[in-house]
Amino acid sequence: MGKLFSYGTLQLEGVQRDTFGRILTGSKDILEKYIVKKIKITDPKVIESSGTHIHLILEYTGNKTDLVEGVLFELTDEELMNADEYEVDDYKRAEVVFKSGKTGFVYLKNEL
């Protein structure tokens, strides 16, 4: 089992059902040194699942006072691959350490 931090649409039950075939379980956590921005998504499948074309994306600041709250979900390796398919090219998956000290994955802004 892996851990995946969600700060946006992956917290929505409809997106979880569409992407993983189940409702996820997890615990609240915080990612330091990042801020949340908004981007416009054009992938019709993602828009249909999330119900919106505006999604959140993380950008690194390096400032310890910048905090992003979210949920750290437990996922299988197959489910992590499903999450990779859900996220569009604007995102990249990275492994980070959260405020709780736990390690897990998060989708960050992909600097293309």
Q: What residue numbers bound the domain in which 67 lies?
A: 2-109
pLDDT band at 112 (very low <50, low <70, confident <90, very high): low
* Domains identified in the chain, total number: 1
Task: Say if CB 53 and CB 41 are below 8 A apart.
Answer: yes
Task: Say if CB 3 and CB 105 are below 8 A apart.
Answer: yes
**Average pLDDT score, the chain:** 92
Sign of CA dihedral 2, 56, 8, 98: positive
- How does pLDDT run across 3-45, given as a tens digit for each residue? 999 999 999 999 999 999 999 999 999 999 999 999 888 888 8
Which CATH number does the domain housing residue 6 bear? 3.10.490.10
Helix axes 13-20, 77-86, angle to 10 degrees: 110
- How does pLDDT run across 54-106, given as a tens digit for each residue? 888 899 999 999 999 999 999 999 999 999 988 878 889 999 999 999 999 99
